[in-house]
Amino acid sequence: MASQAEKPSRLSELLPQLAKYPRPEILLILLALAVRLIGVQTRPLWYDEAFAVLFARQGTAAMLEGTISPANEASAGSAADVHPLLYYTLLYGWMQVFGDSPVSARSLSIIIGVASALTLYTLVAAMLGRRIGLAAGFVAAVSPFQVHYSQEVRMYALMGLLVIGAGLAVQQAIKKGGLRFWILFSLLAALAQYTHNLAGVHMAALAATALFTRQKKHILGIILAGLGSLFLYLPWLVRLPSQLARVGAGYWTERPGADRLVTTLLTYVTNLPLEGVWLITGLFAAMLVFSLATWQTIRLVVRSRSEPGVIGGLWLAWMAFSPALALFAISQWRPVYIERALLPSGAFFLGWLAWALFATKMPAPVRVFSSLVLLLGMLIGLFSHWGYRGFPYADFQGIGQILESRLRVGDTVLHSNKLSAIPMIYYAPGLSQHYLPDPPGSGSDTLARSTQRVLGHLAEESIASATAQSQRVWYIIFKQAVEEYRQVGYETHPDLDWLERHFDLINLESYSDLQVFLFER
């Protein structure tokens, strides 16, 4: 007779019942799609998304010029942009068919995100059984981290899908054999690299997969497949040094401390930002489920590390944490640590949690409590994500319409930098707008002159030249930019100081985190 601790709870019985459902994959797809559709129309495009749409509009040839051209005349060895072009090219084709409205542009990432959850389910099910696969897939369907980047017009969801798919190809090659799976791995690995340069840390982790099996034929297979992916990636690989030089020339990322590893764990579970009590609750949820999953993993490894299920759980943990540690180590030399580049690892993390919670004979009360805490953390993250409208978001469309109704002859609309300019150019293309450049060589100087030229919107040389012929100036700036200068000892932002010395301040209006000043000569 089973002991009281071994009796299945209602929550424990849910997965076996779901696994018996004829097509649970349909429920998984519908859930993932529903969660990703919430807020997709009401949240404005921010700078990165608006840039992606405006850049992709230009077509492949123009994008290539705006990426691999020298960043400026003084840096011939530094590329204009740091991202490969697979996603942008795919987005260009997508917009040709479905248009470039926010919903249309974001729909590409939504479909990719749903496919990622389904692929994770398939991968974990192939390794550990359908029940554990369903647990992983359904958690991925509602993961705030996964949902966030499934709703953005950026390349991270695509990289996640390709890396998870490459992991599935490796596991199938090891399990079933056959040349076709190694070829598929080579193709997906190369496509992931063409999506984002930091996909390399995930590919390096996948390359160690064969070591888990300790069979020479698998090691040889993954070496040959890896060489095949490098061959396919070679046309862009020769461009990689100039893109790395662009990062080294002063990109916005900073050398991470150990606290970033904790932040990454929190991102995997709840995503960020969180504030106040929600941050404390989210951190508690992340640390609890991580600690229990780690304890279960260590306990099973000590007891029986050779069992197939244990090997599968260890591999998922390896794919969840080794890319983050590798990126952390690399960033001590050249800072490139960004949590969103670890989106694939976040998916593998969810697979590892599913294994630790539902496949390791964890006591039922502990399993139920852990699952509820995990669900609570994810719900907090989802509601925070759906409701967040702070920096760098703003009502760019509404502000553009207001300005169009108030402009006079001789007025100039001037943005403090690209963060507000590019989204407003997207939302108000008929409004004549100008923006100031980022300080040359600073961490924020990420939009190269050659890329600006491709977009058709060059930054002004200075605030003096931008306003030389202006009777009135509508100056637009994020509150955060003003506050950053105040924190280092300035009374106000240097641009505002200059404008106040040469113009009279007539009006100031705030739209959430965005401020619009009206100056008159």
Contact 408, 436 (CB under 8 A): no
Give the pLDDT confidence score for residue 19 in this predicted structure: 60
Name the CA radius of gyration of the chain, rounded: 25
pTM confidence score: 0.92
319, 413: one domain: no
- Taking the C-alpha atoms of residue 518 and residue 500, their distance in angstroms, rounded to an integer, is 11
Boundary of a domain, candidates 387, 404, 423: 387
DSSP at 70: B
208, 91: one domain: yes
320, 415: one domain: no
229's tokens: 């992916």
377, 490: one domain: no
- Taking the C-alpha atoms of residue 58 and residue 433, their distance in angstroms, rounded to an integer, is 19
Contact 390, 450 (CB under 8 A): no
Give the pLDDT confidence score for residue 13 in this predicted structure: 59
Domain count, the chain: 2
Q: Give 298's contacts (C-beta < 8 A, 6+ positions apart).
A: none
327, 411: one domain: no
Boundary of a domain, candidates 323, 352, 387: 387
Contact 267, 260 (CB under 8 A): no
Give the pLDDT confidence score for residue 33 in this predicted structure: 98
Give the pLDDT confidence score for residue 138 in this predicted structure: 96
307, 437: one domain: no
Show the low-confidence residues of the chain (pLDDT under 70): 1-22, 72-80, 213-214, 248-251, 305-308
Task: Please give the C-alpha separations between residue 479 and each of 88, 312, 369, 483, 509, in angstroms, as whole numbers.
Answer: 31, 48, 42, 6, 11
353, 409: one domain: no
Terminal CA-CA length for the chain: 88
39, 180: one domain: yes
Closest CA to 144 of 379, 473, 374: 379
Give the pLDDT confidence score for residue 177 in this predicted structure: 82
- Scanning 335-406, the segments in alpha helix (DSSP H) are 343-358, 364-387, 396-406
28, 175: one domain: yes
Stated as kind and residue range, the H or E segment containing 310 is: helix 308-331
357, 409: one domain: no
Domain span at 463: 396-520
**Number of Cβ atoms within 10 Å of the Cβ of 194:** 23
Peptide bond into 392 cis (omega under 30): yes
488, 429: one domain: yes
349's tokens: 């993390």
User: Taking phi first (over 0 means left), then psi (-120 to 50 degrees means alpha), and beta for anything else, what does residue 361 get?
Assistant: left
- Taking the C-alpha atoms of residue 472 and residue 499, their distance in angstroms, rounded to an integer, is 11
- Taking the C-alpha atoms of residue 199 and residue 340, their distance in angstroms, rounded to an integer, is 11
Boundary of a domain, candidates 387, 411, 443: 387
Q: Give 510's contacts (C-beta < 8 A, 6+ positions apart).
A: 479, 516
DSSP at 248: H
Residue with tokens 């997207």: 426
pLDDT per position as a tens digit, 112-139: 999 999 999 999 999 999 999 999 999 9
146, 287: one domain: yes
